[in-house]
Copies of this chain bind each other. A is one copy, B any other.
Amino acid sequence: MEAVRARIRDVPDFPQKGVVFKDITPVLADPATFREVIDAFVSRWKDERISKVVGIESRGFLFAAPLAYALGAGLTIARKPGKLPWETIREVYSLEYGENALELHIDAVKAGERVLVVDDVLATGGTADAVGRLVARQGAHLVAYSFLVELGFLGGAKRLGREHVHALLSY
């Protein structure tokens, strides 16, 4: 994973002053590095009978989609309010100032499914936690949250439950 880590680019003051953003786009751009990342996700989850992978809008889609394809699982997407066209369920999460929400289609996951939630970066865990609550409301089994990068100092794994959190790289 050190070749992958070397391609993650720190962008200071994005999206706001004082934040150092982890830009994962160089990881995607190089075929061997992108393949290494997806294969590492596949290797971790291939024996866990995952039936549905949930990608979190929108960089989560970049990892969730090839993972679902390679696992032979279904794919669904968690989106900001108003983006999904069909009937939805919604969970709210807190931001530093105010709140936001994520939605799933009501038929996105079914009772009894084994679900993996995927995103690029685990920061405070607010969005992933909202998706976990949506999955639980549908009676599905949340196997784990899986990330390319975990920013350990922000405490997201504690919020989600350390035993449910997997990341390929930690900072």
Contact = CB atoms under 8 A, between A and B. Distances in A.
Contacts of A25: 76-77, 84, 86, 105, 108
Nearest to A9: B86
Interface string A57-100: 11001110110111011111100001011100000000000000
Given A25-B84, A29-B107, A85-B15, A69 B68 contact: no
Interface residues of A, number: 41
Interface of A: 9, 11, 14-15, 21, 23, 25-26, 28-31, 34-35, 38, 51-52, 55, 57-58, 61-63, 65-66, 68-70, 72-77, 82, 84-86, 105, 107-108
